Amino acid sequence: MREVYVAKVARLPFAAVEQVGKRNFKSYLLKKLLKSGKLTKEELPKKAAEIVGRANKFLEELPRLEEETGLSISAEYPPNEGHFSKIPAADLALIMVDALFKDFGQDSAKVRELVDVFFLGTVIAHKTERLAAHAFAKVIALRGGIKHAHSLTEDKACSSALKAIGLAYDAVANHGAEFAVAGGVDKMDGVPDSFVRLGLTDPFSGKLMAGLADQVALEKKLTRGELDDYAYGSYERAAIWQGRHRFIAPVRVSDNLIVARDEEVDKYRVNEMFKKILSNMPTYPESEKEGAALCSLVGAGNSAKYASGGGLFLLADKKGLKKLKLDPLAKILAYAEASGPEPKNFIVEPEEAIEKTFAMSGVPKMSWEKIGHFEINEAFAVGNILLMKKRNIPRDRMNRRGGAIAHGHAIGGTLGATGAKAVDIALADKDRYYELAACNAVDEATAMLLENPYA
């Protein structure tokens, strides 16, 4: 088994996403009509209500039209909105590829051709974009000049990017690959919210992931105050770290807009007033069913936000580093997974996956106390709090620079982005050992243990 190093990382900024669906269709229309400038403020509500009425009537007519014509007719609310909504996911991935290889200058094309594997995690993009439906990873690899790499598209819910990096790690460690590029990219804007929410629904109980997390939180006797306090800490820490990220690849949206910062983090002024706002934010419904009960604890304030984004790693063995004259950013010690039979327990599975990496690391007496930083996906504050309580992890070792509650969660792309962020944090803070981990539906988790060569 060969040693595997992180040679380069690059990530996209997390782009904020505004949901558009049945629940907020009218407010979406009001904003759209206001932007058009064609109506007075007094006319706006009446016009919006008129459009909603026509839309509802059309939806009611669909079953009859299908029966009469034999046609399959579908209708969706407008897609979620965000600055990346018009940019194909493949183009976002290519921005990261270019960032990975930019430092090689005139040799960039030659170095790209040395890559043996290209593994990319995604959940939404390859199912919703026509150009992404076929051999998504391979098409991106070819477009990015990575001409000879064996390619794979990995779909493992929120663990997709980390699973892809884990597979790439294995390819270098055990299967002869000298160089590997892996990570993830995903979009939650430019797609129907109904599709996104389907991916956030347990296929067995019909509950949303939020509903399952809420169930566990109640069983473990957590309080709303604990969840909100953790969430506030995430916002606060992300705000402090904002602007200090070293590995973000800026995205040119238009001639007038370049996104180079995590947008969600800049939306709020983190102060005592914001803390009160968090505590008053509504909880989520347990499911998508009409009249579904509301969660008791889990809501918008203490859960991950919608986002688009991603990140990539360039991995190499020791020989590869010498060939490219690179100093490593990190050394990967182990990758592991955990899986269970109970869908609601997805939120606590990272513990087992992390524990497995200790046993696989080769580091004598590796333990929870030796980990300087945990970067865990933070889908819901519930999971992070429970792990901190059970393993006595101080808050400054858990998502030290904020997590998905503050900057957003791009499903299949998140662990690529937070992985790059964790490498950055470990180098800046001189943590020797650190963990990446993610929970994912249905009752699974992934984890990776890394070492900072300079700590």
The per-residue pLDDT for range 244-259, each reduced to its tens digit, is: 999 999 999 999 999 9
| Number of Cβ atoms within 10 Å of the Cβ of 38 | 10
Read off the amino acid at residue 10: A
Q: What is the pLDDT of residues 187-243, one digit of tens each?
A: 999 998 988 888 889 999 999 999 999 999 999 999 999 999 999 999 999 999 999
Question: CA-based Rg of the chain, rounded to a whole angstrom?
Answer: 22
- The distance of Cα 357 from the centroid of its chain, to the nearest Å, equals 22
Percentage with pLDDT > 70 across the chain: 99
Whether the per-residue pLDDT at 319 is higher than 90: the answer is yes
d(CA 392, CA 395): 9
Cβ contact 416:185 at 8 Å: yes
Q: What is the pLDDT of residues 95-105, one digit of tens each?
A: 999 999 999 99
- N residues, the chain: 455
Q: Which two tokens stand for residue 342?
A: 């109970």
Contact 331, 3 (CB under 8 A): yes
Predicted local confidence at residue 91, as pLDDT? 96
- For residue 130, the tally of other CB atoms under 10 A from its CB is 7
pLDDT tens digits, one per residue of 7-34: 999 999 999 999 998 888 999 999 999 9
Burial 396-409 (b: 16+ CB within 10 A, else e): ebbbbbbbbbbbbb
Query: How far apart, in whole angstroms, are the C-alpha atoms of residue 423 and residue 328?
Result: 11
User: What's the mean pLDDT when you consider all of the chain?
Assistant: 95
Asked if 279 and 379 count as a contact pair (C-beta separation under 8 A), the reply is: no
C-alpha 87/C-alpha 252 separation (Å) is: 10
Instruction: Tell me whether residue 40 is exposed, middle or buried, using C-beta atoms within 10 angstroms of its C-beta: 0 to 12, 13 to 18, 19 or more.
Output: exposed
The CATH fold assigned to 1-19+80-455 is Peroxisomal Thiolase; Chain A, domain 1 (3.40.47)
Residue 132 banded pLDDT, cuts 50, 70, 90: low
pLDDT single digits (tens) 375-416: 999 999 999 999 999 999 999 999 999 999 999 999 999 999
pLDDT > 90? residue 82: yes
Is the model's pLDDT at 429 over the cut of 90? yes
* Residue in 147, 115, 160, 153 with CA at minimum distance from that of residue 132: 153
pLDDT of residue 198: 86
* Domain boundary assignment for the chain: 1-19+80-455, 21-52
Contact predicate 388/256, CB 8 Å? no
Cis peptide before 253 (omega within 30 of 0): no
Residue 89 and residue 412 in contact, taking contact as beta carbons nearer than 8 Å: no
Cβ neighbours of residue 366 closer than 8 Å, sequence gap 6 or more: 358, 359, 433, 449
What three-state secondary structure class fits 294?
strand
Looking only at the bridges linking them, the beta strands covering 433-440 and 444-451 are: antiparallel
